Structure 1
Amino acid sequence: MIPNALDALTVFPWPGPPSHIRTGVLLLRTATPVGASRVYARDHIRQALTETLALTLNVPQSAIVVMSTPGQRPHIVISGIGEVGLSISHESTLSLAAVNLHGQVGVDVM
């Protein structure tokens, strides 16, 4: 069950910053060209996250680091905020990322 505060979250397309992060949660989608590699999709969504969060939170892009270690979940560290919840899912020509400034988050595209 989704809490009422999250019932009407907007999935923002990238490029283009959202005007806000409602309740501290951001959903972001990117399009990936047909036949693009998984590496391309990962790099693309990470670039989108960094740019969007920087604009939305009014911090420099250099203050945002998307960290990834094989076999572990990726996470984001934002200077002045700390580690924030991150979940990324890819499917065919779509990547979806969820960020929660207040804790863990999960998203899956099927």
Structure 2
Amino acid sequence: MAERLKAWAWPADRAPAQQRLAAGLPLVISLALPPLIQRDSARQQLRLALCELLCAALDCDATRLRLVSLPGRGVRALLPEREVFISISHETGLSVAALSLHHPIGIDVLRLADCTGWQDLAPLYLGVDDTERLLRAPEQQRALQFALAWTTLEAGLKCLGQPLLEASERDSAWPTTLQHHVVELDAAYVCSVSVKSTQLFQTQLGHFAGNGAE
């Protein structure tokens, strides 16, 4: 079973979020937004939150911080002394971001209410085996199981810097260094994080996940 990670709500959880990032621990933040907000506005608000978080946690001046979107590499925070790995995802009413000071990271969020057409998407993108597993699940659980599989797929591809392709056009197995985790969110959403892990990261993640129960 995938290890569960806590999402720290911004700005309510500002202090613990800053502490965890300052300590070098991987971090997930969530930003609740009005349901009808435009996507560009959601992006802007999340970027502002990220800038506030990074400046406070890493003790840097805002004029020295740049958030840039790099083709195939997602968002990066560029500082004179370091580069911070960031992945972001938006859904109706919610934006999320995953940050790591040490390893590439990917995140994806999906609203369960939007999973009504999963029967058409699953065979194309998840593949035959995963689709058969979904169909064997109790009917009331299938949308949730699809959302878990879909967000894991998207988060993994983001982490690896790869585009979304149909199952027949990509490798069937993930690299052994890629670790997948479920993010604890409101029951209306499903969210997954993928990280290129090392022994160092697993030690950090154990600390992070354990403290997430506060």
**Category of TM-score, reference length = shorter chain:** 0.7 to 0.9
Confirm or deny that 1:28 pairs with 2:29. yes
Deviation, structure 1 residue 90: 0.5
Q: C-alpha separation between the residues in 1 aligned to 2:5 and 2:54?
A: 16
Aligned residue for 2:27, secondary structure, equals: strand
Q: C-alpha separation between the residues in 1 aligned to 2:27 and 2:86?
A: 10
Q: Which amino acid aligns with 1:56?
A: A
Deviation, structure 1 residue 48: 0.4
Deviations 1:26-64 (A, max 9, x none): 211111112100001100111000101111112122222
Deviation, structure 1 residue 9: 4.0
- The structure whose Rg is larger is 2
Q: 1:68: which partner in 2?
A: 69
Return 5+ residue gaps in structure 1 as ranges.
none
Q: Which amino acid aligns with 1:37?
A: Q
Q: 1:53: which partner in 2?
A: 54
8 Å CA contact 2:29, 2:97 repeated in 1: yes
Q: 1:87: which partner in 2?
A: 87
Confirm or deny that 1:102 pairs with 2:98. no
Q: Which amino acid aligns with 2:7?
A: V
Aligned residue for 2:103, secondary structure, equals: coil
Q: C-alpha separation between the residues in 2 aligned to 1:95 and 1:48?
A: 11
Q: C-alpha separation between the residues in 2 aligned to 1:88 and 1:75?
A: 10
Return 5+ residue gaps in structure 2 as ranges.
111-214
Q: C-alpha separation between the residues in 2 aligned to 1:25 and 1:92?
A: 25
Deviations 1:51-92 (A, max 9, x none): 0111111212222211126776222212211x2211100010
Deviation, structure 1 residue 101: 0.6
More helix as a share of residues: 2
The change in CA–CA distance for 1:23 and 1:69 in structure 2 (over 3 A counts) is: closer
Q: 2:39: which partner in 1?
A: 38
Normalising by the residue count of structure 1, what TM-score does the alignment of the two structures yield?
0.80
How much is the aligned-residue C-alpha RMSD, in angstroms?
Answer: 2.3
Q: C-alpha separation between the residues in 2 aligned to 1:98 and 1:76?
A: 12
